[in-house]
Amino acid sequence: MPELPEVETIRTQLAPRLVGRRIAGVEILDPLVTDPMAPDEFSHALAGQCITGLERRGKYLLVGLESGATLAVHLRMTGRLHWRARRPGPGEERFLRALLVCDDGSTLAFGDARRFGRVWIIPAGPMQREYWCGRLGVEPLSAAFTARGLAESLHGRRVAIKTALLNQVVIAGIGNIYADEALFAGRVHPLRPAGSLSPHEYRALHRAIRDRLTVAIAAGGASIDSYRDGLGQRGEMQHLLRVHLHEGDPCPRCGTTIVKTVVGQRGTYWCPQCQPDPTGAHLPAMRRRPRRVRQAVGA
């Protein structure tokens, strides 16, 4: 499912292809995609508009328009954005829900098998957009995201740290994949109460979040499900996941068998050795292992 790294990958690819183009036509094939806005109202806001910029906020892709309005896109579970130099032929785009046609004949297809994905029009005005994005927390790759800030935002919270990481009000853009990966990299058990980490652990987790997201962006995102990038290609991050979807496999760090449990209704993968149990009080400071077991990549 598209999380921050996947959306950022798409943004990077689409920006040079879309910015400066004029929208010639909008076709809504599934009215659910604009819900609750009426499809014709949605189309009207886009028709004839020049695309002025492409940004990302959390898992949202934000398409700036010359009118000052913003087209916001969320891919949710199975949504895809697929750019083509020419309009896709009949049956060429699976699960096509909406199509945006540019003045040069290039197209942006919105496909979505499960129909959870949505598009919105944010009215003109910086305040409007600010307000619209107001429910989103800090961008984890921005300078505003600090270990101290993370600790403060989780102070007193008793929900599982994994659930907190998935909460977009706390941090914007982390989903199930990178929550698991960051907790593993930071050596934090997913069920630890969010407010119970030591300063050292908040620092480790903060660092792990940035590291995993950065690596994932460099890898073009994880195509473990239906994710494809803006050009229809797979990413490579699925080969670099260390615990997510690795139930039964040896931990790449210590060799212990990776387990899967459910945390906050979400499948959760972790290493019982590297991410010590929440009920067992703080363990003594961990010594660095001289050697790490390398994960077999590719295969």
Partner DNA sequence: ATTTTCCCCTGCCGGC
Partner DNA sequence: TGCCGGCAGGGGAAAA
Q: Which listed range, 83-91, 210-218, 261-269, 270-278, lies at the site for DNA (CB under 7 A)?
A: 261-269
59 binds DNA per the rule CB under 7 A: yes
Q: Which listed range, 18-26, 82-90, 153-161, 291-299, lies at the site for DNA (CB under 7 A)?
A: 153-161
Interhelix angle 199-218/176-185, nearest 10 degrees: 130
Question: Exactly one of 137, 140, 175, 230 binds DNA (CB under 7 A); which one?
Answer: 175
Token pair, residue 65, equals: 């328009």
132 binds DNA per the rule CB under 7 A: no
158 binds DNA per the rule CB under 7 A: yes
32 binds DNA per the rule CB under 7 A: yes
Residue from 11, 56, 57, 59 carrying the catalytic annotation: 59
CB of 183 to DNA, least distance (A): 14
Report how far residue 77's alpha carbon sits from residue 116's, in angstroms, rounded to the nearest whole number.
7
266 binds DNA per the rule CB under 7 A: yes
To the query of whether residue 266 is one of the catalytic residues in this protein, the response is: yes
- C-alpha dihedral sign at 24, 25, 26, 27: negative
Residue from 207, 266, 276, 278 carrying the catalytic annotation: 266
- Give the residue with the Cβ less far from DNA, 207 or 266: 266
- Write b or e for each residue in 212-235: b if 16 or more Cβ atoms lie within 10 A of its Cβ, otherwise e: bbeebbebbbbbbebbbbbeeeeb
Question: Exactly one of 15, 24, 50, 77 binds DNA (CB under 7 A); which one?
Answer: 77
235 binds DNA per the rule CB under 7 A: no
Question: Exactly one of 1, 182, 219, 258 binds DNA (CB under 7 A); which one?
Answer: 1
Residues that bind DNA (CB under 7 A): 1, 3, 32, 58-59, 74, 76-77, 95, 113-116, 135, 157-160, 163, 166, 168, 175-177, 264-267
User: Which amino acids are annotated catalytic?
Assistant: 2-3, 59, 266
